[in-house]
Amino acid sequence: MEILAASRYWRDADLTGLQFTANRLLHREIRPHRHVGYTLSVSDTELHVRTGNRVTVVPPGTLLRIAPQVWHSVQARSAPWREDAMYCSSAVARCISAANEGAPAARAQDDAGVSIFLDSPAAFEFLECHRLLHESASTGNEEDIAAGRALLRQRLAQWIPLQAPPPRVVDSGDDRMNRLYELIASGFHQRMTLDSLAGAVGLHPVHVQRRFRGALGFTPHEMLVGHRIEYARDLIAGGASVTYAAHAAGFTDQSHLHKTFMSTYAVLPGDYRKLSALDALQPASARNGIVG
C-alpha cells in the first residue's frame, strides 16, 4: 500500500541543524514514535495526537509542537492530507535565534508535551518560512531566501523553548508495566512475543495486553516496533546500510523496515541517510529532531 503521494525533505545551508519536510500522506495513521528534539508542524486536516492515555485534538491549519522524547501517534481525520514540518533541538534553536533569546514565547496550550499555538499568525508565519526557504532555494531568489531565514530566526525563539527540558522518564504508575516497558526497551532487537513478555511479569497475555495499554496508552507490540524503528533510524543516520539496520534492530527483512520507516517518519530511508550525514559534524546535543 502506498503511504506517500508526495514527499520533500530538505535542509537550508544557512540554518544548520534544522530539517524540513513537506508531505502529502495517503494513510491516516502515523505509528507511535518519538523524536530527540522538538517537532513543529501544520496540517490541512484535523489531527488526533495520542500521548499515553491522552488525546489532543489539533484543528486544521494550527501550529502544533511536540516536545522531545514524547511517545506519540497521530490519526488524521481525512486522507490524503498534507503536513509541513520542521525538526529542531533546543540547542539548535539557541544558536539560530541567539539575538532573539529575550523574545516572549508565543501563546500555547500544553498537554503532556503536546502544544497547540493559540494565535493563528503562528501557523501562517511557520508556513511562510517553509514556502520561502523551499521555493526560493529552487528559484535562487536571494531576497526571498534572506526573508525566510530572517523570519525563522525571529520566530524560532517564540516557538521553541531555548532551554532544553529535563529528560523524560517513562513512569506509568504501574511497577509491573514499567518493568515490561524496560524489558522491551532493552531487548527489542531480540525475538519477543506477548507470551514471553507476560511470563516475565507473571501475568496472562490477555491481561498484559489490556493492562499495558491502559497504563501507557500503547500496546506492547507498538512499543516494541517503536523501539526497533528508533534504533534502525539511529543506525541509518550514522551511515549504516538499510539492510544492516533492519537486521540489527530486529526486523524480518529490509522491506519490513522500509514500510515501517515510511509509516513512522514519512521519509524514504535512503533520503534520510543522505541528509543525516550532516549531523555527524555536530555534537549530539545540537542534533535535529529526527536524528537520535
What per-residue confidence (pLDDT) applies to 286? 42
Residue-range domain boundaries for the chain: 4-159, 175-286
The three grid cell numbers given for residue 189, joined into one nine-digit string = 532487537
Low-confidence ranges of the chain (pLDDT < 70): 1-6, 99-100, 137, 277-292
pLDDT digits (tens, 9 = 90+) for 223-278: 999 999 999 999 998 889 999 999 999 999 999 999 999 889 888 888 788 777 65
Please give the Cα distance from 35 to 43 (Å, whole number): 18
- How far is 170 from 151, CA to CA, in rounded Å? 36
User: Is the CATH number of domain 175-286 1.10.10.60?
Assistant: yes
Q: Which segments of the chain are extended strands (E)?
A: 4-10, 19-25, 29-33, 38-43, 47-51, 54-58, 64-66, 72-76, 81-88, 108-111, 114-117
34: Cβ–Cβ under 8 A, 6 or more apart, which residues? 68, 69, 70, 71, 72, 226, 230
Q: Which CATH class is domain 4-159?
A: mainly beta
Query: Does the fold of domain 175-286 match that of domain 4-159?
Result: no
* pTM score, whole prediction: 0.89
